[in-house]
A and B are shown apart, each in its own frame.
Chain A
Amino acid sequence: MIGYGNPGRIDDGLGPALSALLDARALKGVSVETDYQLVVDHAHEIARHDYVIFADAAISGQAPFSFTEIPIAATQPTFNSHSLSPEAAMFFARTMFGAKTKGYILGIRGYEYEGFGEGISERAKENLDAAFLFILELLGQGKRIS
């Protein structure tokens, strides 16, 4: 799992908060990365794993979270250094390192992003808990993701 975002910007810290929760469980066979954003070097790490889950805050969309598989892009995704998308990270992993990794986006719905502040908003905390439970079930039951 790669949980990414800025914990100094309220709900943007949802990804790192989830990866911290998962890291604390020290589950066998699960690597956990935390970063401010996705960057090109994550491609190398992605390629070393069978599955990767990108955990990020979602500005809009489904609550408590959405979980979607990343399709193998028919065309190259847009690349912008500030916000390298999961699709772009997967594209890098495939094209540079021959990755066969399957990728998923876990978008945890957040609500407060403006300004600086530590800690997740109350509403987003509930979504974080639900997302963590979902991940534990996914991994803890030993069932394959796909």
Chain B
Amino acid sequence: MTKTRVIEIEPITRVEGHGKVTIHLDDHNNVREARLHVVEFRGFERFICGRPYWEVPVIVQRLCGICPVSHHLTASKAMDMIVGAKKLTPTAEKIRRLMHYGQIMQSHVLHFFHLSSPDLLFGFDSDPESRNVFGVIEKMPELAVQGVMMRKFGQEIIKATAGKKIHGTGAVPGGVNKNLSIAERDVFLRDIGQMKTWALGALDIAKKYTFDNLAAVQAFAVFNSSHLSLVREDGALDLYHGNLRALDAGGNLIFDQVDYRRFNEYLMEEVKPWSYMKFPFIKSRGHIDGWYRVGPLARMNTCGFIDTPEAGKALVEFKNLTRGAPNHMSLAYHWARMIETLHCVENIETLLNDPDLQGTDLMVKGERAGEGIGVIEAPRGTLFHHYKVDANDQVTFCNLIVSTTNNNEAMNRAVKQVAQDHISGKPKITEGMLNHVEVAVRAYDPCLSCATHAIGKMPLAIEMYDADGNLVDRNSQYI
């Protein structure tokens, strides 16, 4: 009988949260199976039950320290339904959009400049001692500083619209509780030109990387999949609001312009015994073939066009690479992410010049409902919030499908393919080989539901076991 060795990479470095990769080898060092496991807190949905509905947009931010704003806005959209707010005031919607674009911008920038750029700039096999943000600081200090300043700009937008960076209260059921003052606006207008220049520069880096390494990009974690996102009624990219569209691997529509409040009619979640994360799939395709990708790459594939000028031109170039067919390259997520960053900066500029941001009509209400569903395009993909509220205003049901969960199957496929391509049959497993696996996961920028961080945590452990469960190798480092 062939014995199996297991290599564990735990947690994945430079992704948000805690994940563990296990790679199962046989006696000949061939990869038999590779999986991404997620160590995530369960029970958040239960934690929400019993709360008054108006508290939810604030409380859900505690789910995650990385994307609290996405949860804040998605919960607010769900609560809009509860309070019967069918259409927000122009000021409310634009303030929320501004907050959202600030959030996506800062999230994408952190990922690109400080988490992924070391791999892209120095190579997946380069010396791990300098294949990190410190290497970027040393060799390209201006790039590292740009990343910080762009992220800070996005964070300040969040602070100005949500009231504060953590536990923001800006979005409330039926609207927002503050507008943007002229003084606040002018601070952002002063720097927006610089942000646009830097966003264009980052886009060039991502695009150049793709074309300079096209053969590698076209061979690294490339697999056919469906793609899903919200799109506007005219098919344009819309990160804040729209209807659901899903394409199959060939670019054919599976469904289009589906009101997201009916998402349960189109999507299901499967549970697997080896992972805490659920595996969503498109009902009509079944649980074997119905999995899909979300996030920047999926959004570039699903949308027909982008309505901001520079990002719009960038999308045309992106689509030209595959002659209009869906792009299935995991590493193209980076290019897509930078197109979205530019799109957000362009949208922020447009909004800052819109007098509606100083409007005073902030709230609407209508007929009270017992169920609320909110969906948004978060930095990492489509995010679903579903609540039921009783006559006492208390939440009785809560179900969240977080963006990263939607990419669960895709990330597992990426891990397995890269492990087979780069580890199978090799007599010795090197750090560079293992980093290839991490690069594949990192492309999806997963947010693995942040575990409690506090002084005294271990960030990385790689463990190897023989077929009898004996630990044969271990490598760890501590913060």
Which listed segment binds B: A107-115, A125-133, A134-142?
A: A107-115
Provide the residues of chain A in CB contact with B66, threshold 8 Å. Answer: 36
**B354 → chain A closest CB, angstroms:** 26
B contact residues, range = 35 or more
A105 beta carbon closer than 8 Å to chain B: yes
B455 in contact with A61 (CB, 8 Å): yes
B110 in contact with A40 (CB, 8 Å): yes
B165 beta carbon closer than 8 Å to chain A: yes
B166 in contact with A35 (CB, 8 Å): yes
B148 in contact with A81 (CB, 8 Å): no
B68 beta carbon closer than 8 Å to chain A: yes
A58 to B453 CA separation, bound complex (whole angstroms): 9
Encode contact with A along B149-187: 1 for CB under 8 Å, 0 otherwise: 101100100000000111100000000000000000000
A36 to B44 CA separation, bound complex (whole angstroms): 17
A37 in contact with B453 (CB, 8 Å): yes
Chain A residue at minimal CB-CB distance from B451: A82
B454 in contact with A80 (CB, 8 Å): no
B115 beta carbon closer than 8 Å to chain A: yes
Provide the residues of chain B in CB contact with A8, threshold 8 Å. Answer: 47, 59, 61-63
Q: Using a CB-CB cutoff of 8 Å, which residues 1-23 of chain A contact chain B?
A: 5-9, 12, 16
Most A Cβ at <10 Å: residue of B47, B144, B479: B479
B275 beta carbon closer than 8 Å to chain A: no
**A83 → chain B closest CB, angstroms:** 4
B166 in contact with A34 (CB, 8 Å): yes
B141 in contact with A80 (CB, 8 Å): no
A116 in contact with B15 (CB, 8 Å): no
A41 in contact with B68 (CB, 8 Å): no
A82 in contact with B477 (CB, 8 Å): no
Q: Using known A-B contacts A35-B166, A36-B68, determine if residue A81 contacts B137 with beta carbons closer than 8 Å.
A: no
Q: Using known A-B contacts A7-B167, A96-B148, A110-B454, determine if residue A78 contacts B65 with beta carbons closer than 8 Å.
A: no
A81 in contact with B453 (CB, 8 Å): no
Q: Which of A76, A82, A96 contacts B17 (CB 8 A)?
A: A82
Number of interface residues of A (CB under 8 A): 47
Most A Cβ at <10 Å: residue of B15, B144, B165, B452: B452
B148 in contact with A6 (CB, 8 Å): no
A114 to B450 CA separation, bound complex (whole angstroms): 12
Chain A residue at minimal CB-CB distance from B133: A79
Chain B residue at minimal CB-CB distance from A115: B43
A78 in contact with B166 (CB, 8 Å): no
Provide the residues of chain A in CB contact with B62, threshold 8 Å. Answer: 6-9, 116, 118
Q: Using known A-B contacts A44-B149, A80-B460, determine if residue A34 contacts B455 with beta carbons closer than 8 Å.
A: no
Chain A residue at minimal CB-CB distance from B141: A96
Provide the residues of chain A in CB contact with B61, threshold 8 Å. Answer: 8
B148 in contact with A40 (CB, 8 Å): yes
B457 beta carbon closer than 8 Å to chain A: yes
**A129 → chain B closest CB, angstroms:** 19
Provide the residues of chain B in CB contact with A79, threshold 8 Å. Answer: 14, 132-134
B377 beta carbon closer than 8 Å to chain A: no
- Interface residue ranges, B against A (CB under 8 Å): 11, 13-18, 41, 43-44, 47, 59, 61-63, 65-66, 68, 110, 114-115, 132-134, 137-138, 141, 144-145, 147-149, 151-152, 155, 164-167, 450, 452-457, 459-460, 477-479
What are 20 A-B pairs at a CB distance below 8 A? A6-B452, A8-B61, A9-B452, A35-B65, A36-B68, A37-B453, A39-B110, A40-B147, A56-B455, A58-B455, A59-B456, A78-B477, A81-B15, A81-B114, A82-B11, A83-B457, A85-B479, A95-B137, A97-B145, A116-B41
Other A-B pairs, 15, CB within 8 Å; known A9-B452, A96-B148:
A6-B62, A35-B165, A36-B66, A36-B166, A58-B454, A59-B454, A76-B134, A78-B459, A78-B479, A81-B14, A82-B450, A83-B459, A85-B479, A95-B134, A116-B41
